[in-house]
Amino acid sequence: MGTAHRTCEVSTVMHVRGPDRLPEEIYRKVLEQLAELSPIVQALPPSAALVELRGALPYYGVDARRLGEVLRVRTLSRLGVDVRVGIGPSITVAATASAQVPPPGGVLAVASGEVGTWLNPLPVDALHGIGPRQAAVLRDYGIHCVGLLAAVPPATVQRLLGGRAGRTAADRARGIDPRPVVPRGLPASATVACRFARHTLDGAAVRSALLDLVVQLGHLLRRRGQAALALTLTLRFASGTSWDATRRLPEPSAHDDDLRALAYQLMDAASLQRARLTGLVLKGGDLIGAHQVAQQLSLDGAREDRLIAESAIDRIRAKFGPGSIGPAATFRRAS
């Protein structure tokens, strides 16, 4: 059997698989959990992602397996979503490992020095990147497992599968995969939502729920280092219908005051009259990086004080959790 080459000294690539048919809104939140572990996150829609942990491991002082376990705890506790995590020295090994984790979730870490031993017994179609047709061709020639594929001369694999595909398959069976994890840009929108336990007509309760969404959205944008140019409010009704409207902010912002003012305008524009609501969705759109927002000189001392307080509140949330502090109206609603 061929032995896998060691492509790096330690296993630092994490491949994460979410459940099938994961709603886009939840998928975005899973990506946010990954970004808390490492800034190098590559989204693989609709429900998977890659993470490069090389820089994160010294920071956290734990091994990659432990970070995978931390991720599972966070997605389960915060989102109610379990994930399958594979860790290896390359994208191929990590993705192959995550596929070997049985649903609903778990962590499988393959050390760089154990890649060959781990890969060799796997069925050839278990190797990430080998499709059903390629696997069928290989099995027709007696190549049933990854170890046999690694032992076949690359030129022979190229003749069986074609030039580029054969070369790639031969390399990956040997653990050779130099591809880096390439960070993808942050999503072009940010969405928060709430659902009422009971259909509600209470204007105060609806306004409180909207304020809570504003706070969540503002915190999410600031944590991402983004600002919104527009807001979209969607109201969902007990009849199964919905209403939505979009308005642009005067200036791009991620500050609660600015988002709240426009969100309230959108709510007022709905002109609700005895409509039974089941939920609200607030989306920040046309997002840009916070560094692109011009810093305006303000003569409003009260606003400047609120921005200073907002920064302090963000630090408290980062330390004690998102529900640790916020407007009194949102806590009355939760109680």
pLDDT of res. 329: 62
* Strand boundaries in the chain, DSSP class E: 13-17, 41-44, 48-52, 84-88, 106-109, 190-200, 226-237, 242-253, 277-285, 288-289
Reported as a pLDDT band with limits 50, 70 and 90, residue 112 is very high
Of the chain, the percentage scoring pLDDT greater than 70 comes to 88
pLDDT of res. 197: 81
Q: Residue 3: is its pLDDT beyond 60?
A: no
Between 3-17, 42-56, 254-268, the lowest mean confidence (pLDDT) is in 3-17
The whole-number average pLDDT for the span 190-212 is 87
299 phi/psi in degrees, rounded to 5? -100, 5
Reported as a pLDDT band with limits 50, 70 and 90, residue 58 is very high
Distance CA 207, CA 212 (A): 9
Q: Other C-beta atoms within 10 Å of 182: how many? A: 10
The whole-number average pLDDT for the span 184-195 is 79
Give DSSP secondary structure letters for 142-199: T--BHHHHHHS-HHHHHHHH-HHHHHHHHHHHTT---PPP-PPPPPS-EEEEEEEEEE
pLDDT of res. 292: 67
pTM of the model: 0.58
Reported as a pLDDT band with limits 50, 70 and 90, residue 187 is low
pLDDT of res. 21: 83
The whole-number average pLDDT for the span 303-332 is 72
Distance CA 285, CA 188 (A): 7
The whole-number average pLDDT for the span 18-43 is 89
pLDDT tens track for 5-30 = 433 457 999 999 999 888 877 888 89
**41-44 and 84-88 strand pairing:** unpaired
Of the chain, the percentage scoring pLDDT greater than 90 comes to 59
The whole-number average pLDDT for the span 57-86 is 95
Average predicted confidence (pLDDT) for the chain? 87
Residues of the chain by 3-state class (helix, strand, coil), percent to 5: 45, 20, 30
Q: Structure tokens of 109?
A: 């870490």
CA-based nearest residue to 228, from 178, 195, 276, 266: 266
pLDDT tens track for 74-108 = 999 999 999 999 999 999 999 999 999 999 999 99
pLDDT of res. 255: 92
The whole-number average pLDDT for the span 280-288 is 89
Reported as a pLDDT band with limits 50, 70 and 90, residue 313 is confident
pLDDT of res. 25: 79
Who has greater pLDDT, 161 or 289?
A: 161
Q: Residue 131: is its pLDDT beyond 90?
A: no
pLDDT of res. 239: 83
Between 174-183, 192-201, 255-264, 324-333, the lowest mean confidence (pLDDT) is in 324-333
pLDDT of res. 7: 39
Distance CA 118, CA 173 (A): 11
